[in-house]
Amino acid sequence: MTVPMQLARIIISEISDNQVIYLKEVDGERQFPIVIGICEAKSIDRRVKDEARPPRPLTHDLVVSIAESLGAEIDSVIISDLRDQTYFAQLRLRKDGEVFDIDSRPSDAIAVAVTFQPFLPIYVSEEVLEQATPKDGAA
């Protein structure tokens, strides 16, 4: 089972190599942080702030235009796994009724999701969400 999430916060620190984004449940209160790189954080931030599009495609636009030029559409982002404190994700593509899940870092997948208006849906597996949001004092 997967849970719809939304991008709740982006925290960019110019003095750190690691930046943080927070994903929060669309229909709930659980949220968790993902540590990402500065390049992907800036790419996400630029789109969330809806800055003017530069005349040439940026990196994550290129991902979208390659998929679309080959007749596919990018459908959604799925954060499917958490191992050794590292999240694993897929970009879900559809073409001619077929589904293709492409391995991606969550940061790239979310940077692609926010190139769309509205943003593409972001899902997290219930299992990952439980691991990422442990309950204090669980019996």
- What amino acid is encoded at 81 in this protein? D
DSSP for 68-98, written as a single string:
HHTT-EEEEEEEEEEETTEEEEEEEEEETTE
Instruction: Write the binding mask 86 to 115 for its own copies: x where contact by CB under 8 A, - elsewhere.
Output: x-x--x-x-x----x-xxxx--x-------
Q: From the CB of 93, what's the least distance to its own copies, in Å? A: 7
By CB under 8 A, the residues from 54 to 83 that bind its own copies are 55-60, 62-63, 65-67, 69-72
21: CB partners within 8 A, 6+ apart: 7, 9, 10, 11, 33, 34, 36, 41, 44, 107, 110
By beta-carbon proximity to its own copies, the closer residue of 71 and 134 is 71
- What amino acid is encoded at 111 in this protein? A
Q: From the CB of 73, what's the least distance to its own copies, in Å? A: 11
What residues make contact with its own copies under the rule CB under 8 A? Answer: 38-40, 42, 55-60, 62-63, 65-67, 69-72, 86, 88, 91, 93, 95, 100, 102-105, 108
